[in-house]
């Protein structure tokens, strides 16, 4: 553990620390930003005697932060900021998060914890493939590795052939990436006759996209590594909100820094442990942009608040299923792209890339799934996949379009899994 004094804290001590930090956060908002305080219905730390009192406060949303661009919700002076990052998924008015020196330090500590949970330490060589810029990923991974005093290869995004060369030449032991990028590494490695198992690479830390257990298994088999699912978002302070440990029994969220609720997305009611709903985050240790009950739109559930076999006592959550915004509705059925991916990745003939294309024809929705294949398609494959989709989702896909590997466009950032032409 990187900070065992926090990571192994018992629940009574942890809840007391959360309560103290929550009250301090509310005091910061009240004293430094009257606009923000009014948005909280003028509730303050005086209204909080137990953690459950957080439920008195209104939710915050992306729209609030957009309307508050750039500094309406910040709780520090502009001259106190050292850096800002912007949400990679933002269209229109940006969602930004300005960081004070303490925010950057806290971010580095969180990321160091994430590395440690994945078994990465000072003796490791870490190759950072997310971009360095407004997207927070590259910098977050960099800060955490610096905290550990690990060797860093800050290559950033793209240049896949060079990525493979560096993995070999610099004896890289851990690689960080957007979740779909390992698929590109595998694809190029196959063309270059590059053998991951002939390198020192043993750990992959991947996030920024929802990726299925089936994709995870494929990456681990092809690259010969152990993978770890890391979560986080610009609004809450960047990548590093949580990660699964080597026990792989759920995502640990650092509860000394974050208070987490799972709510019914329709009613806003807090759900009991084990019930699936939307993750709501309250930051407990942020200065520049503290958040109170921020609706992330991420769908998950609590697995356990008991101690993990790794020794950590922070709550564990199921891997993210998707965001409410990602949910598709076809033929009256709601589903997430990840559910379809879990079916496709079970079949060895299927390649690493697919795309869901939605169109409207004569007033009805049509769904085509474009699927790259690694080998000649068995005549029964289409029938089998169609049956599996029907069994899971309850409808038949209009068309399964099998394509030669390399047909679908490769993007430098997040994979484009859905193309919606319905207007």
Rounded to an integer, the average pLDDT of 217-231 is: 97
Q: CATH 3.30.300.30 occupies which residues in the chain?
A: 327-420
Q: CATH 3.40.50.12780 occupies which residues in the chain?
A: 1-326
> Residue 89: is its pLDDT beyond 60?
no
Q: Residue 255 in contact with residue 242, Cβ under 8 Å?
A: no
> Residue 323: is its pLDDT beyond 90?
no
Chain segment 364-406, per-residue pLDDT in tens: 888 899 999 877 777 788 888 989 988 888 888 888 999 988 8
Chain segment 135-189, per-residue pLDDT in tens: 899 999 999 999 999 999 999 998 999 999 999 999 999 999 999 999 999 999 9
Phi, psi for residue 117 in degrees, rounded to 5: -65, -30
Rounded to an integer, the average pLDDT of 51-77 is: 96
Categorize the per-residue pLDDT at 90 as very low, low, confident or very high, splitting at 50, 70 and 90: very low
- Say how far apart CA 299 and CA 322 lie, in whole Å: 6
Categorize the per-residue pLDDT at 316 as very low, low, confident or very high, splitting at 50, 70 and 90: very high
Tell me which H or E stretch contains 276: none
Q: How many CB atoms lie within 10 A of CB 419?
A: 12
- Between the CA of residue 9 and those of 6, 15, 109, 209, what are the distances in Å? 5, 10, 16, 30
What is the radius of gyration, based on Cα positions, of the chain?
22
- Say how far apart CA 156 and CA 16 lie, in whole Å: 40
Chain segment 237-296, per-residue pLDDT in tens: 999 999 999 999 999 999 999 999 999 999 999 999 999 999 999 999 999 999 999 999
Calculate the average pLDDT of the chain. Answer: 93
- Per-residue tokens: 390: 């029907």
Topology (CATH) of 327-420: GMP Synthetase; Chain A, domain 3 (3.30.300)
Q: Beta strand 83-86 with 96-99: parallel, antiparallel or unpaired?
A: antiparallel
Min mean pLDDT across 38-42, 58-62, 225-229, 343-347 is at 343-347
Q: What is the pLDDT of residue 376?
A: 72
> Residue 408: is its pLDDT beyond 60?
yes
Q: What is the pLDDT of residue 322?
A: 85
Q: What is the pLDDT of residue 390?
A: 87
Q: Which residues pair with 239 in a beta bridge?
A: 232
- Give CA 103 to chain center in angstroms: 19
Topology (CATH) of 1-326: Rossmann fold (3.40.50)
- Between the CA of residue 247 and those of 117, 151, 311, 338, what are the distances in Å? 9, 25, 10, 23
Categorize the per-residue pLDDT at 88 as very low, low, confident or very high, splitting at 50, 70 and 90: low
pTM, full prediction: 0.89
Q: Residue 399 in contact with residue 356, Cβ under 8 Å?
A: no
């Amino acid at each position: 553990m990187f900070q065992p004094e926090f990571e192994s804290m018992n629940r009574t001590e942890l809840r007391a620390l959360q309560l103290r930090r929550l009250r301090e956060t509310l005091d910061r908002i009240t004293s430094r930003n009257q606009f923000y305080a009014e948005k909280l219905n003028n509730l303050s730390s005086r209204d909080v005697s137990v953690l459950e009192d957080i439920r008195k406060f209104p939710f915050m949303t992306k729209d609030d932060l957009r309307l508050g661009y750039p500094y309406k919700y910040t709780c520090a002076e502009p001259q106190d900021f050292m850096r800002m990052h912007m949400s990679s998924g933002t269209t229109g008015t940006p969602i930004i998060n300005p960081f004070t020196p303490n925010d950057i330090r806290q971010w580095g500590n969180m990321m160091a914890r994430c590395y440690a949970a994945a078994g990465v330490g000072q003796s490791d060589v870490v190759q950072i493939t997310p971009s360095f810029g407004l997207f927070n990923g590259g910098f977050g991974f960099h800060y955490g590795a610096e905290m550990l005093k690990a060797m860093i290869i800050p290559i950033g995004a793209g240049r896949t052939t060079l990525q493979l060369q560096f993995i070999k030449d610099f004896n890289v032991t851990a690689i960080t990436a957007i979740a779909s990028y390992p698929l590109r590494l595998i694809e190029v490695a196959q063309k270059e006759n590059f053998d991951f198992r002939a390198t020192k690479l043993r750990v992959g830390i991947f996030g920024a996209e929802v990726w299925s257990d089936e994709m995870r298994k494929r990456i681990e088999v092809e690259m010969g590594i152990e993978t770890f699912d890391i979560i986080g978002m610009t609004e809450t302070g960047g990548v590093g909100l949580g990660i699964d440990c080597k026990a792989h029994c759920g995502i640990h969220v650092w509860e000394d820094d974050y208070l987490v609720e799972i709510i019914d997305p329709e009613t806003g009611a807090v759900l009991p442990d084990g019930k699936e709903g939307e993750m709501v985050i309250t930051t407990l240790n942020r200065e520049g942009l503290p958040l109170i009950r921020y609706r992330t739109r991420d769908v998950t559930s609590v697995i356990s608040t008991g101690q993990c076999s790794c020794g950590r006592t922070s709550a564990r959550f199921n891997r993210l299923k998707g965001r409410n915004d990602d949910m598709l509705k076809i033929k009256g059925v709601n589903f997430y792209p990840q559910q379809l991916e879990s079916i496709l990745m079970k079949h060895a003939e299927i390649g690493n890339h697919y795309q869901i294309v939605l169109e409207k024809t004569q007033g009805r929705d049509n769904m085509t799934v474009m699927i790259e294949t690694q080998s000649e398609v068995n005549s029964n494959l289409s029938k089998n996949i169609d049956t599996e989709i029907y069994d899971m989702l309850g409808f038949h896909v209009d068309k399964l379009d099998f394509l030669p590997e390399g047909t679908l466009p490769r993007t430098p950032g997040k994979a484009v899994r859905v193309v919606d032409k319905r207007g």
